[in-house]
Amino acid sequence: MRILPLVTLAAVVAASMPSEAQTKERRAASAALAPPPSAKRIPLGTTEEAKEVIKALRSIDAAVTSGINFQDYSKSVNELTTALTALDEVLEDRKAVSIRSQIAETLKPYQTAKDLWSFCVTSDDCSHNFINMDSGTLSKTVDQYLKEYPSANVPIDKGGALMNLFGPQVHWKSLLKAMWLVGGEKGKTLRSSLHSE
């Protein structure tokens, strides 16, 4: 084996290295062939975060349709909240402002129903499944709910939540159903947006 002098070895290495101009030219050609940064991202609807949100939405919708107790419902809302929070971080990274605004809209009806249900299982204001609208700490809040969920603001025999047996009353379980209906609609809109992004 022949040993080259250090100066000769350095000259061989230098000769084999591309010049600065060649390096710039190669980088420009490589960049022109590379897909745009947006093409490298996977579609939003196929991210793990989006899949978890879709799973949580389907789960909560199935549960409220078939029947669920408060403890399980509360757990389902917490799981939905966690999934939506994780998705929100992905949306923030992607600068998906329009979809980010749908997250709070989707969660609100489910969270509001959870809060109302929690109050009603521990309060005398919701005795016999009705909230008396003439008195009680909940009447102003329920009045606001009836404005936000207008399908409940009709008589119970027409699919709403209003009764008038012993004064104006609201059947709070029917009010929950109206909230869940809106939550389901908002969830469908969010799922559609995730798949179209």
Could you tell me if residue 75 is inside a domain? yes
Could you tell me if residue 26 is inside a domain? no
Q: Output the pLDDT for position 135.
A: 74
Helix, strand and coil in the chain, % to nearest 5: 75, 5, 20
Could you tell me if residue 144 is inside a domain? yes
State which residues form the domain around 148.
Answer: 39-196
Average pLDDT value for residue range 4-24 = 49
The answer to whether 99 and 45 are in contact (CB under 8 A) is: no
Residue 170's H or E segment, with its range, is strand 169-171
Could you tell me if residue 54 is inside a domain? yes
Number of domains the chain is built from: 1
Question: Is the entire prediction scored with pTM above 0.85?
Answer: no
Q: Output the pLDDT for position 21.
A: 65
pLDDT at 161 over 80: yes
pLDDT at 57 over 60: yes
pLDDT at 70 over 80: yes
